[in-house]
Amino acid sequence: MHLVSLVLRAWKMALETKQTTPKPFQIALVKPELAQALQDLMCAICYNLVYEPVQTPCSHVFCNSCLKPWIEQKQTCPMDNKAVSSSSLKPLQSANPLAYRILASQLVKCPLHANEGCTWTGEYSSIANHLKSGCGEPCKFCNEFIVQEVGMKTHLDHFCFAIPLPCTVPGRCVHDVLLTQMHTLCMVR
């Protein structure tokens, strides 16, 4: 029974983290053979090239969106277990300007290239501008980035599992519920 409660607690924490923290992007290098040389700029939590990188006092680099939930739970660096707090994190750009310049000059693919089909490539430093200038927009329900070619309406109509919908069980429920909750909340036998 103890194992079940641990699994449920981990699942709950994952859901809470997903709801409060945007998921990190998967940023792929245009030249994958450079990954080994950039190993210190790979996040040890999500195993991708860092996005919105922060540096710990012990000089490890992580995605901000990966490290914040970790610190809220453990208050330690994932690499060496040294004490870390949110206030001790520094943006890589100010903590280590040379490392940031190396990262910023790397040629990368759009974070949405694999799943959504965006074909943009450019310098790492241009990702945020690319995403803001027309590649897509975040869904207000699930926070997933939606490429313009797919369209927000298509996403909301067919793919978003976080959009509240009216319950379809007549006479049993009058609430809007998430699609994933529909059966568990209303299908009372």
What is the block-wise mean pLDDT of the chain (189 residues), using blocks of 10 residues? 38 40 64 86 89 94 92 92 94 95 92 71 88 73 68 75 67 55 47
Residue whose tokens read 């994190």:
89
Query: What is the reported pTM?
Result: 0.60
Tell whether 92 and 141 lie within a shared domain: yes
Q: Containing domain of residue 183, as a range? A: 161-189
For residue 47, being part of any structural domain is answered with yes
For residue 2, being part of any structural domain is answered with no
The pLDDT value given to residue 16: 43
The answer to whether the beta carbons of residues 75 and 88 sit under 8 Å apart is no
Burial class (CB in 10 A: 0-12, 13-18, 19+), 71: buried
Length of the chain: 189
DSSP string, 35-101: TTTTGGGB-TTT-SB-SSEEE-TTS-EEEHHHHHHHHHHH-B-TTT--B--GGG-EEHHHH-HHHHH
Tell whether 57 and 104 lie within a shared domain: yes
Tell whether 95 and 46 lie within a shared domain: yes
For residue 66, being part of any structural domain is answered with yes
The pLDDT value given to residue 29: 84
List CB contacts of 149: < 8 A, sequence separation 6 or more: 116, 117, 118
Tell whether 180 and 142 lie within a shared domain: no
Residue whose tokens read 């922060």:
54
Tell whether 47 and 122 lie within a shared domain: yes
Strands 61-63 and 53-55: antiparallel
The pLDDT value given to residue 6: 35
For residue 5, being part of any structural domain is answered with no
The pLDDT value given to residue 15: 42
Tell whether 168 and 88 lie within a shared domain: no
The pLDDT value given to residue 30: 87
The pLDDT value given to residue 83: 94
Tell whether 125 and 167 lie within a shared domain: no
The pLDDT value given to residue 120: 84
